[in-house]
Homo-oligomer: A and B are copies of this chain.
Amino acid sequence: MESTSPGDREPEAIIIGAGPAGLWAAFQLGIHGVRSHLIDSQPRPGGQCAALYADKPVYDMPGFDAIDAGVLSDNLAHQLARFRPVYSLGDTVLAIDRHQGGLSATLASGQVVSAPFMVLATGLGPLGSDSKQPKIRLPDSVATDAGHVLVTAGDFETGCANLFAIGDAISYPGKLCLLVSACHEAALMAFAIRRRRAGEKRAVLEYSSTSTTLRAMFSS
């Protein structure tokens, strides 16, 4: 566990999709010292959740009797801000390729961004076959089933090394497209990337309420 904020380093993870799942994924990576670069076709963080349902109350987030989807998105972006993520908003990912042991994303703007790790947090839209938006071209090694990305249980890695996927885009036994599930998936993904990055066989989970390292991180 690193004690400094990742905000001064180059992004090590590219996250495709800056909806609630993507924002939370970047937050979880930040806890483990990994800075994220989020890419989304929407002009602001929050994804479809903020764009289409901003004023709709959500009743099944832990600790909130009700919270409007737009407020929840804003809260998640604010919670993440301490880790100083990079955003590319209003741009669309066309293709993902393997690149020097990591991954690269080619954007509609012509920009190509690369990093050691990448996380698909797109929702189903840009991966499904009947989407109105451009379908992202994935590496051949990514297995899909009916438009859903198949992932390894426990770390949410796709068939392509260092490419992970969480949220509504993925499928596994019992999968429900709920935000609490995406948050869980993001936590396990981030822990797996932390282990992979550090070459650790086994990492120790610390708690934000009791770890002196984590408490220092969040109180700074």
Contacts from A to B (Cβ < 8 Å): 20, 24, 27-28, 31, 53, 56-67, 69, 72, 75-76, 78-79, 153-155, 172-181, 183-185, 187-188, 191-192, 205, 208-210, 214-215, 218
Starting from the known contacts A65-B78, A180-B187, 5 additional A-B residue pairs (CB-CB under 8 Å) come to A20-B62, A57-B209, A62-B183, A64-B75, A174-B192
A59 with B181: CB separation less than 8 A: no
- Please list 23 pairs of residues, one from A and one from B, whose beta carbons are closer than 8 Å in the complex, sorted by A's number: A20-B62, A53-B210, A56-B209, A56-B210, A58-B209, A59-B209, A61-B63, A62-B75, A62-B79, A62-B179, A62-B183, A63-B75, A64-B75, A65-B78, A65-B79, A66-B218, A153-B174, A154-B172, A174-B188, A174-B191, A178-B205, A180-B180, A181-B187
Complex CA–CA separation, A59 to B83 (angstroms): 13
B24 with A62: CB separation less than 8 A: yes
Which residue of chain B has the shortest Cβ distance to A67 in the bound complex? B63
Complex CA–CA separation, A60 to B187 (angstroms): 10
Which residue of chain B has the shortest Cβ distance to A58 in the bound complex? B209
With a CB–CB cut-off of 8 A, which chain B residues contact A176? 187-188, 191, 205
One complex includes copies of this chain to the number of 2
With a CB–CB cut-off of 8 A, which chain B residues contact A191? 174, 176
Rounded to whole Å, the gap between the CB of A36 and the closest CB of chain B is 16
With a CB–CB cut-off of 8 A, which chain B residues contact A214? 59
With a CB–CB cut-off of 8 A, which chain B residues contact A172? 153-154
With a CB–CB cut-off of 8 A, which chain B residues contact A60? 27-28, 31, 187, 208
With a CB–CB cut-off of 8 A, which chain B residues contact A27? 60
Q: If the complex has contacts A53-B210, A181-B184, A205-B177, are A218 and B64 also in contact, measured as CB distance less than 8 A?
A: no
Complex CA–CA separation, A189 to B75 (angstroms): 28
B187 with A173: CB separation less than 8 A: no
